[in-house]
Structure 1
Amino acid sequence: MTGNRRFFRKMALPAALLILLAGCGESGDYVAKVDGEKILQTELDDALREQYGTEVLDTLITNKIVELEAKKVGVSVSEDSIQEEYENLAESYGGKELLQTTLEENGLTEQSVKDNIRMYQLTKNVIAASIDISDEEVAQYFENNKDSYGQKEEIVASHILLEDEETAKDVLAKVKAGDDFAELAKTYSIDTSTNENGGEIGYISRGQMDEKFEEATFDLEKGSISDIVQTSEGYHIIKVTEKVPAEEAVFEDVKDEVYETVLEERINEEYTSWLAEKQEQYKIEKM
């Protein structure tokens, strides 16, 4: 979904959404008070229109062009695909509740975001209908980016981070004596992001961690525990619980994924010129 969100961000216009939402209240509503003096909804509406009016109008014109083109080429967007993208967005924010809080803080609603998603997907589908991607182009893209589709060597690790070497030696002695690693992490580790989970860091691939930490971790066998490893953060005791070997990607296994990536890139490349061409074809009158 990475490519989708990149394109979505290009099209998403929070200012446009804010001004479209701003006109929903009655003219007598107020949005704030200062020493009892009201700031009216109409004042906010006028300020938003003055600041973002041209941008919003251009967005609405673009949306109308997309809708007309969608009718011409016979493409649409399903509610299921909108919901799926919304749920992916919520997941990226840490859940629906956190996303909802963010929306409320910005004066947005779930429906306004879904409307934006719908327009993004409709635009994508309209432009995609005019793009021809050959099997050779997909295969070449795969060859040029093979490493990004393969399975990298990964390790699942946990650690106990200590502030000083003396404490690290004491804790390592407890580990070697058979004390539970996870419980020791909860008791002694100063890494507040992992200690409550028994020191679990999760999946690690090369290039993500401190060089000394990484070297020690990837040298360990599954189920084994390191000696004390010193980094700029402190003194680590590392346990490896899983090792995933590197595996080269097979084109046939990822062909559909590669095609979608190529399509996303082509859409991003052609969007501006496509829109300019359509603007020339339609009679646009601004009042």
Structure 2
Amino acid sequence: MTGNKRFFQMMTLPAALLILLVGCGESSDYVAKVDGEKILQTELDDALREQYGTEVLDTLITNKIVELEAKKEDISVSDDAIQEEYKELAESYGGEESLQEALKANGLTEQSVKDNIRMYQLTKNVIAASIDISDEEVAQYFEDNKDNYGQKEQIVASHILLEDEATAKDVLAKVKAGEDFSELAKTYSIDSSTNEAGGEIGYISRGQMDEKFEEAAFGLEKGSVSDIVQTSDGYHIIKVTEKVPAEEAVFEDIKDEVYATVLEERINDEYTSWLAEKQEQYKIEKM
């Protein structure tokens, strides 16, 4: 999904507090002590209810409306779809282990996240069922955003970053003498994020790096090495190992992708009005 971390942050509060705010029994157990004085579980529960209770209750009411609408329209979310979304979320955190650490830090479980994913997807599916998107609308969106879909010009580059010009000149001389660029990067580069990888930065598009760095790098031929390039970071020696030319997108090739984007935007735009309309249709009683 797009913006996985943002979605995760949005859903954290209700999921973390749900067990405390809904159906938790009275308890005399304490949750902390200050100089021997107890802070009771009931005090924590009451404070959470007071601070977040309305927000969580509204979320539960919204979820119930979505579930009722889904049942009415025979709309569901498959386990495979939930697992795929969870997998993408894990990848956005750098892997399953990193995600599990984030869940633990936020007091969440894998199941609570999957429950939120299910509700997130169910909401989208229910609203999507009420949206009609024409071929003309999709085609116009593509024309208006064509640059976002085409292949931008890219290079694959490595660099050796030096602190002073004198050292940079010495290292450049070694490169020109035929010494291995990768080994020189490991030995001399002060860029700790790339030196162990032989200075490899990877794919670069315009607008990602310092302007002077890009001007030199994009002007190089495949396999060639730059002269010394000074930026605010220091003195660079740049090597380009691959060049990917810009390529304009063809609408028919990505029509489904464009449709999905248009649908996502329409769902976001219409969610508030859709929910307000449904709230008018259902009898909602808050105790």
* TM-score between both structures, scaled by the size of structure 1: 0.94
What residue ranges of structure 1 are gaps of 5+ in the alignment?
none
Separation of aligned partners in 2, 1:167 and 1:280: 72
User: Contact between 1:7 and 1:268, CA under 8 Å: does it hold in 2?
Assistant: no
Question: What is the RMSD of the two structures over their aligned residues, measured on CA atoms?
Answer: 1.9
> Equivalences for 1:79-90 in 2 at 5 Å?
79-90=79-90
2:13 to 12, 15, 21: 15
Task: Work out whether 1:147 is the aligned partner of 2:167.
Answer: no
Shift of 1:33: 3.3
Provide Cα deviations, 1:141-175, integer angstroms capped at 9, x if missing partner. Answer: 00110110000000010100000001001111111
Structure 2 SS opposite 1:201: strand
* TM-score between both structures, scaled by the size of structure 2: 0.94
Shift of 1:7: 8.7
Separation of aligned partners in 2, 1:26 and 1:97: 35
* 1:63 corresponds to: 63
* 1:50 corresponds to: 50
AA partner of residue 61 (structure 2): I
User: Contact between 1:22 and 1:45, CA under 8 Å: does it hold in 2?
Assistant: yes
What residue ranges of structure 2 are gaps of 5+ in the alignment?
none
Q: Aligned pair in 2 of structure 1 residues 104, 59: CA closer, same or farther (>3 Å)?
A: same
Separation of aligned partners in 1, 2:167 and 2:127: 62
Shift of 1:221: 0.7
Provide Cα deviations, 1:259-282, integer angstroms capped at 9, x if missing partner. Answer: 000000000000000000000000
User: How many positions carry a matched residue from both structures?
Assistant: 285
Provide Cα deviations, 1:74-128, integer angstroms capped at 9, x if missing partner. Answer: 1100111111111111111111111111121111111111111111100000000
User: Contact between 2:155 and 2:204, CA under 8 Å: does it hold in 1?
Assistant: yes
> Equivalences for 1:138-217 in 2 at 5 Å?
138-217=138-217
Q: Aligned pair in 2 of structure 1 residues 6, 15: CA closer, same or farther (>3 Å)?
A: closer
Identity %: 84
Separation of aligned partners in 2, 1:134 and 1:207: 34
